[in-house]
Structure formats: structure tokens, C-alpha cells
Amino acid sequence: MRIYIDEAGSFIWPPNPANSFSLVLALVVPAVFEDELFYEFLRLRDSWPARGIEIKGSSLDEKQAAEVVSLLTRYDVLMDFVAVDMITHPKVLIDDFKVRQADAITAHVTRDHRPELILQLIGMERTLREMPNQLFVQAELTIQLVLNVMQSAILYFVQRQPKELGDVAWIVDRKNHTITEMEETWTTIILPAGESHFMKEPFIALIGADYSFFERYEVDLAADEKMASHVDWAHKTYGQRGSSRTGRVIDAKRLLTEQLKFADSRDSLGLQLADILASILRRALNNRLGTSGWAGLGKLVVHDPEPGWFVQLGEGIVSYSVPDRAVKVWRTLKARSKPMVP
């Protein structure tokens, strides 16, 4: 499966409260029908008035937006996203949250840790402290999105297209960021965050499902001393009990970086589709697109009683209420979502 990731919004405190939402979105496309989907997308794109090679979601009217959504609903793709209302995230709050996140990276480091690991963690802390707030907020949302997608997409497709679990590729729109910035964000923040998350909330698997194709991303601890040693450290760091020298674990680095590409959307139809969905959704959250243009998005998300679509970073806001315009989107998507179990 191909996981296309794009964002919409500036991730900075907005001067206009009515245009305050930013988000990161993932479009998961099974490789088995990717070519057919792209062919149909090109046919649809060619039926519109000439706009150039790349179509941006911000330029589509309600009818065109609905046509793209309708096309995607004909294929068993998944959409997931994480949105943030930047009106509740002033600079002072982001500054404080970033410092505390950086402090936490080395909070458990002692002289007993391997020298190379200590240097790695110190480097991660420095990278986080020096990261621009805009990129930091985007990275925080991307972390949660990647964790959500890893769980939901694998659980969804193991029941429908189990072969897709053996070929997982991540294609990320780099927009105006350099490749170095994107790689640094991915390897120094997203990978460690994923490890921390799954140590506290283990990966959910479906009993009796065919995970044979996913085994290429697993490691047998009895046969890999380096991984076993690392898992031992992780168990101690995160306060987990039990033996960590037997069994199999997911190699997050292989899963997240073996087929990782930072690309320009001009060269990727998958990223163009992700961009269109992200723009449609952001316009809906900011009440800048009619319901007919975005209501069908619900058919692309998997039903979750408590979807993690909206986040509030930091501790500066005592209470936060999602604006009515966003509540409408949330309720519509949830009501039309498709079931996890076939």
C-alpha cells in the first residue's frame, strides 16, 4: 500500500479566527489498483477547464471537489487526518511545549546507557529545540497521524487485501521544505515518538488474520542481539515488565523508512490527490466550502467511536471547545464512515 501525506494550512497563529484550522492528511491507496485510480483521476482532471498539469484543491469549486471525492469512494482507499485550531496556539504556548518535549528526550539518560545512544538522544534534543515553531507543530501532528495510520491501515487491509501489508511505502509532500529538513524531522522525531507510543500502547492485531506478508517488517529477538538489547533498554526506560529477549517485534525503522520518499506533488498523482483532500477538508473546517463539496469524505474514513482528528498541544488552554463549523464536519464524517470489520 502507498501512504501519501500532505498538509494544508500555515501552522501559525492566525490573524483571522475564521481561517484558523491547519491539518496533516494521509491518503492510503492499495497498490493493487493504484494505476487504475490514477488513470481515472487523469480522465476527470482532463474534463475540467485547463488549469495546468497540477491541480490544487484550493482552486476547485464544490462540484469538482465532490467529483474527486466520489471517484475515491469507488476504490477501497483510506483517509485519515489530524487537525489543529491554531487560534488556541499562540507562540508562547508552542515555545513552552517545545521546550518540555525537548527536555523529555534526555530525561531518562544515565551513564549506564551506550555512548552512541547518548549522543543520538542529545542530537535529537538539540534538533527539537532549534526547530521553527511552524515545522514543530506540523511534526507533532504528523507523528500522531503516522501512528494512527499504522494501526488503522494495517488492521483494515489485513481483512481485505493482506498482500498490501508486505509492501508499505510512504510518500511525503515536502512543499517548501528541503529534503534535509524533512529527513531530520522524520528520523529524529517521528521514529522515536513511534517507539515511545507503542511501548505504552501496544500494536493491536486481529487474531486469526493473515499477517504473513507483514512478517518482513518483524524481527526475531532471539536471532538479533542488537535489537534485543535495544528492546531491553526500551522496556526499562518506559517501565515495562516481562521478558524482552523472546518473540518478535516490529522493526519501526524498516517499516517507516525502507520505502520513504519526500517528493514534489507535481511529480506524484497520489500527492496531488492528498493535496486536494487536505484542501477540501481544511476549507470545510474553516467554513469556506459548501457541504456538497466535502460531505462524501466520510466514506473514506474508518469508523472509530473516538477518532483522534483534533488535537490541542500544550497546557496553556484550560478548556477548548471545537468550533461549531468543525463540529459539523466531525459529525458528518463520523456518521458516514465505513466499518473497520467487513
How far apart CA 154 and CA 164 sit, in angstroms, is 9
Give the closest residue to 334 by CA, choosing from 299, 283, 310, 282.
299
Residue 12's pLDDT is what?
A: 92
pLDDT of residue 331: 94
pTM over 0.85: yes
pLDDT at residue 148 in the model: 92
Contacts of 104 (CB under 8 A, 6+ apart): none
Q: Report CA-CA distances (Å) from 221 to 57, 113, 166, 191, 235.
A: 46, 20, 20, 19, 14
- Cα(212)–Cα(165) distance, rounded to whole angstroms? 9
Closest among 69, 197, 191 to 121, alpha carbons compared: 191
Q: CB within 8 A of 114, min separation 6: which ones?
A: none
pLDDT, position 199: 63
pLDDT in tens, the chain (342 residues): 999 999 999 999 988 877 899 999 999 999 999 999 999 999 999 898 866 677 888 889 999 999 999 999 999 999 999 999 999 899 999 999 998 888 877 776 666 666 766 777 777 788 888 888 998 899 889 989 999 999 999 999 999 999 999 999 999 998 776 777 777 777 777 777 766 666 667 788 899 999 999 999 888 776 667 766 766 666 666 556 555 566 777 888 889 889 999 998 889 999 999 999 999 999 999 999 999 999 999 999 999 878 889 988 887 555 667 788 999 999 999 999 999 998
Please enumerate in sequence order all residues whose Cβ is within 8 A of that of 209, keeping only pairs 6 or more positions apart, or say none: 158, 159, 162
Count of other CB atoms within 10 angstroms of residue 30? 20
Work out the burial of residue 60: count CB atoms within 10 Å of its CB; fewer than 13 is exposed, 13-18 middle, 19 or more buried: buried
Amino acid at 39: Y
CA–CA separation, 301 and 44 (whole Å): 22
Q: Is the dihedral of CA 54, 59, 65, 67 positive or negative?
A: negative
